[in-house]
Amino acid sequence: LVDPPDGTKEFVNRRTDFTVNIALVRHGVPEVGVVFAPCTGRFFSGRAGTAEAIDVDGDYRIAGRRPITVRAGGTPLAVVASRSHNTPETEAFIRDLGATEIVSIGSSLKFCLLAAAEADVYPRFGRTMEWDTAAGDAVLRAAGGMTRTLDGQPLVYGKRNQATDTDFANPYFIATGKGVEV
């Protein structure tokens, strides 16, 4: 799946937190993901067992790589949430969670902040499509995190191939680092 750009509202409003996402999905699972924020140079990749933050130079050439992994959980919790698609359900969830830090950002960077141990929880109680989430979800899974639907099931991709699905929309979900209970 390719999403150029993810974070369309951020892109249109000339913000810097939009991304280009590329994911390889096999049998409903995002196995490989690449997320690049061209304005900030933040670049993440993930595949089974390996998640990295990639440093780029001024000409966007790879200058270095650092392994990343999710935080181990605990308290206080830092929540990352959508800048452009906040909902009353999201606000209530964050309030009930007792989060001490809230980072509002656009695009699939939310998954990457969890993967890089910069946040603990990403709740999404609004519409997203598979191309919005697959690459970031792959990076998060590779870093030891997970994305679950509200009934606790892993987010599944390629749903339109099933007779009961009408589009590629995701159900509401919560993405977390390792050991984070919500």
Q: What is the pLDDT of residues 146-172, one digit of tens each?
A: 999 999 999 999 876 555 666 788 999
Q: What is the pLDDT of residue 120?
A: 94
182 belongs to a structural domain: no
Q: What is the pLDDT of residue 176?
A: 95
Q: What is the pLDDT of residue 165?
A: 60
Q: What is the pLDDT of residue 13?
A: 76
Q: What is the pLDDT of residue 155?
A: 93
Strands (E), the chain: 2-6, 19-26, 29-37, 42-47, 50-56, 62-67, 78-82, 101-105, 121-124, 146-149, 173-176
Q: What is the pLDDT of residue 164?
A: 61
Residue span of the structural domain in which 65 resides: 2-176
* Residue 77 in this model has a pLDDT that exceeds 60: yes
167 belongs to a structural domain: yes
Q: How many domains does the chain have?
A: 1
**Which tens digit of pLDDT belongs to each residue from 17-49?**
888 999 999 999 999 999 999 888 999 999 999
* Residue 80 in this model has a pLDDT that exceeds 90: yes
State the average pLDDT over residues 38-67: 93
Q: What is the pLDDT of residue 99?
A: 84
165 belongs to a structural domain: yes
Q: What is the pLDDT of residue 143?
A: 98
CA 96, CA 50: separation in Å to the nearest integer? 33
* Closest residue by Cα to residue 116 from 82, 66, 75: 66
**Which tens digit of pLDDT belongs to each residue from 110-143?**
999 999 999 999 999 988 899 999 999 999 999 9
Q: What is the pLDDT of residue 138?
A: 98
**pLDDT band, very low/low/confident/very high, at 10 (cuts 50, 70, 90):** confident
Q: What is the pLDDT of residue 140?
A: 98
- CATH number assigned to the domain comprising residue 50: 3.40.190.80
